[in-house]
Every structure is written in C-alpha cells, then in structure tokens.
Amino acid sequence: MSPQVSNTVVNLPGKSAEELRAFLESLGEKGYRGAQIYHAIYAERKFDFAAMMNLPAALRERLARESAIMLPQIVRRHRSSDGTVRYVLAIGDGQPANIETVFMPEENRQTICISTQAGCAVDCRFCLTATLGLMRNLTAGEIVGEVLVVLDDNRDALKPQTNIVLMGQGEPLLNYDAVMAALRILLDPKGVAIAPRHAALSTSGIIPGIERLAKEKVRPNLAISLNASSNEQRDQIMPINRKYPLEKLLDACRKYPLRPREWLLFEYVLLGGFNDSPEDARRVVRLLANIRAKVNLIPWNPGVLPYERPDRAGVEEFQHILIEKGVPCFIRDSRGQDVMAACGQLALAAMAEETAQSSKTDGFSSW
C-alpha cells in the first residue's frame, strides 16, 4: 500500500469489474481473473497480491511487479468520547493532499462519512472546508479507498450493517464521474456491498448533478443542504444560491424520481438570530410543499466562524412547526458523530480542534 505509485504500474483500486477484466486480458491472462481480483480487493479487502491464493503464484508475482493496490494512508486518528473516529488520510498519485474520513460506530451498524474532493470551491460561509478552496478532485480509487481503509482499520469491531454518507470535504456533484464510479463499486453486491438505501449523498444544490443523478439506475439517497428559508438569506451564506436559486433547486427536487419509501433529506444548519425564527420555519414548510421531504435541524455550535448558537427553545419550536405541518423533522446535535451531519463540518471540527490546541473541542481526542 505505497502512497505513491510509479507511472509504469497500474493502480487497481477504483477500477470496475470490466476494467479489471480488460487489464488482465491486456496482460494475456484470462479475463475471469479480473473478477477474482475485484472480489479480493473490494469484498475481501485483500490489499496484498500474495494473499490472493486463488490466483496462480506466477500471476501474483507479475501483478505485484506491474500493478499496485495503492490506498489512502492513515496520517492521524482522532477519537470522540462517543466512539467516533475522525481520520486524516493522505492521498497521493502525483498530487498529494490530506483529506478527512469519519467512522461512526453504533449498536448494530457503522456509518462512514467520506470526502469527495480535497477542499471545496463552493464557498459556503459556515464551512471551514470552504476556506481551503478546491485543491483537487478525488479519484474513484481514492473515494473507494477511504471506505476500504476505514473498514479495515476497524475490522475487529465491525457490525453487520455499513452506511456511507458523502458529506465530508467537497461537493460530490462537482466531481460527478469519479463519485459515481466509486459508488458503483461501493454499492455493488459483488463489490463492497453497501446497500443503496444505506448510502446518502449531500449536495449544496448543484441542479445539473441532481438531474444526472435522477437518471442513475443505482444511486444513493439524496440530501440537500438547505440552510435558509429565502433566497436573500441563502445568498448570504451559500453563494451557490445565486447560480441555482431556491425556486429552481426545489423544482429539481420536485421532479426527482423518488422510489417507494424514499425521501429527500433537507439539512438545515440553525444559525442563531439568522435563520432560526418561527417565520423561517413557516417559510421552510412552504418551500417544501409537495416534496416527500425529511428535515434534519443542526443547531450551530459556535467556533471560529461568526455565528451564534440558536436558542434551544427556539430550535424545538422550529421543529414543532415543521412536524405540525406534516414535515418529519429531527434535531441533530453537534457532538461526536453529529458534528458531521452536514457537509463541511469535518474541516470545522478539525479547525476548532487546532484553534483550541487541545483535543477537547467537539469531544475528540487524539490517539
């Protein structure tokens, strides 16, 4: 698992079953060996050709010379008091960068929050990832690699069900092709085998990406980072709203072909005194009319950015107004796993941690 791979060898993670078949055939081998390698890397998490005992010894040796299984490398782990582990991972392949991935254990399952870009260009004002700007897109192999590395690092404690959420660094729909190539492997029953209903992609509202996703045969659940009840408000905290304003975004949501029992999830970061009034709640109800929607309210946890914590009674009133009008609504407090409930919150946790120069912020500790 070297972080760098020479130009003369082919890195295999991120390759589809068809691409692995073609690669093996290009070596003059039988194509079905590609399916064996696909299964070994993604389903069995074997990252060393020597462990692929169903391959002939000569092929294992040749693959070790002419290809590689290069995965992100763990630079640091930070553990929350509730068991959440936030990883800093180094990705290489010519343009080295650090990204963040989070492992959240629960009683019967684990959820992995993954990044899709190093940094982000979308510039949401409540998000510290935005301050990094976009460094680069992740490749499909790096995105799949985040999940493989984190599953492997927790292999002795895994529960039967794995969820993935694309809510880490980056706007997934601005790296569409790599994200979908990764998801096809992650959601493939012969690959990493995560059930599509256990996967969610969060977007700031990139309408062309939403329209493309609507046409995918296999796709994750869709979450929209809403965070405002009017265009005036959203323009201030999410400049992307000027390009894709609320009425057009919600029109795309209304046209999104939901399957039976599927919902659109709307994330709403409550910023005290900015977007958390009862009138905001009533406007959100009107915005979401005729959409099969659930809302996650995420009360802001003050840190280095100039926003206030919302009043608790006001948060509950906001929730009550939505529920009363028939919109399922949940409060996700920003602790441990919940600090990642909206995209961009990973970098927030990291920066808050560094600013405090202690491991206590957000309940994380290094180990």
**Token code pair at residue 186:** 């992650």
By CB under 6 A, tell whether 124 contacts ligand SF4: yes
CA distance 62 to 76: 33
Comparing CB distances to ligand SF4, the nearer of 238 and 322 is: 238
Residue type, 330: F
Name the segment binding ligand SF4 (CB under 6 A); options: 127-135, 142-150, 279-287, 311-319: 127-135
What residues numbered 148-207 form the site for ligand SF4, per CB under 6 A?
Answer: 169-171, 204
- Give the x-and-dash track for 219-248 against ligand SF4 (CB under 6 A): ------------------------------
- Give the x-and-dash track for 51-90 against ligand SF4 (CB under 6 A): ----------------------------------------
CA distance 208 to 110: 31
Site size with ligand SF4, rule: CB under 6 A: 13
Question: DSSP string of 37-83?
Answer: HHIIIIIS----GGG-TTS-HHHHHHHHHHEE----EEEEEEEETTS
Closest CA to 114 of 150, 153, 78: 150
By CB under 6 A, tell whether 99 contacts ligand SF4: no
**SS3 breakdown of the chain: % helix, strand, coil, rounded to 5?**
40, 20, 40
Comparing CB distances to ligand SF4, the nearer of 67 and 225 is: 225
Residue 164 and residue 147 in contact, taking contact as beta carbons nearer than 8 Å: yes
By CB under 6 A, tell whether 129 contacts ligand SF4: yes
Name the segment binding ligand SF4 (CB under 6 A); options: 45-53, 116-124, 183-191, 325-333: 116-124
- Rounded to a whole number of angstroms, the minimum distance from the CB of residue 273 to ligand SF4 is 20
Comparing CB distances to ligand SF4, the nearer of 204 and 337 is: 204
Torsion sign, CA atoms 121, 124, 129, 130: positive
Comparing CB distances to ligand SF4, the nearer of 163 and 227 is: 227
What is the set of active-site residues? 100, 343
Name the segment binding ligand SF4 (CB under 6 A); options: 16-24, 65-73, 101-109, 119-127: 119-127
Name the segment binding ligand SF4 (CB under 6 A); options: 120-128, 184-192, 252-260, 323-331: 120-128
Instruction: Find the helix or strand (DSSP H, E) in which 57 lies.
Output: helix 57-66
Comparing CB distances to ligand SF4, the nearer of 123 and 311 is: 123
Residue 42 and residue 20 in contact, taking contact as beta carbons nearer than 8 Å: no
- Rounded to a whole number of angstroms, the minimum distance from the CB of residue 124 to ligand SF4 is 3
Residue 86: CB atoms within 10 A of its CB come to: 27
CA distance 367 to 365: 7
- Rounded to a whole number of angstroms, the minimum distance from the CB of residue 261 to ligand SF4 is 27
By CB under 6 A, tell whether 127 contacts ligand SF4: yes
In the numeric block, the tokens 């493989």 are attached to 148
End-to-end CA distance of the chain: 22
CA distance 323 to 36: 50
- Residue numbers at the binding site for ligand SF4 (CB under 6 A): 120, 122-124, 127, 129-130, 169-171, 204, 343-344
